Amino acid sequence: MKHTEKVEPVFCLFHQKKDCICIAPVIDNKTLKMRFFHAIKFNEINNKFESDLAEKGRREAENEGWQSRLDQLP
């Protein structure tokens, strides 16, 4: 059986775009704060075991961007 119902794309606050790759797009500030917090913690854990300095730097820069966006939320 084919699924023919079209689902309207939702704007994801985390990725800041419609039709993002999220399984569950972020649609409220509470969830957005939680997603930022978890993403930052995940990168911090990964960086503890990362030997590639370029990858470690990329994650640190990504965390800075997420922390900046998190700090701007009410």
Instruction: For residue 32, tell me if it sits in a domain.
Output: yes
Instruction: For residue 6, tell me if it sits in a domain.
Output: no
Instruction: For residue 9, tell me if it sits in a domain.
Output: no
Is residue 26 within 8 Å of 38, Cβ to Cβ? no
What pLDDT, on a 0 to 100 scale, did the predictor assign at position 33?
97
Question: How many CB atoms are closer than 10 A to CB 43?
Answer: 18
Q: What's the total number of domains in the chain?
A: 1
15-59 tens-digit pLDDT: 999 888 888 889 999 999 999 999 999 999 999 999 999 999 999
3-19 tens-digit pLDDT: 667 777 889 999 999 88
User: Which DSSP letter does residue 9 get?
Assistant: P
What pLDDT, on a 0 to 100 scale, did the predictor assign at position 23?
84
Instruction: For residue 15, tell me if it sits in a domain.
Output: no
The predicted model scores a pTM of 0.80
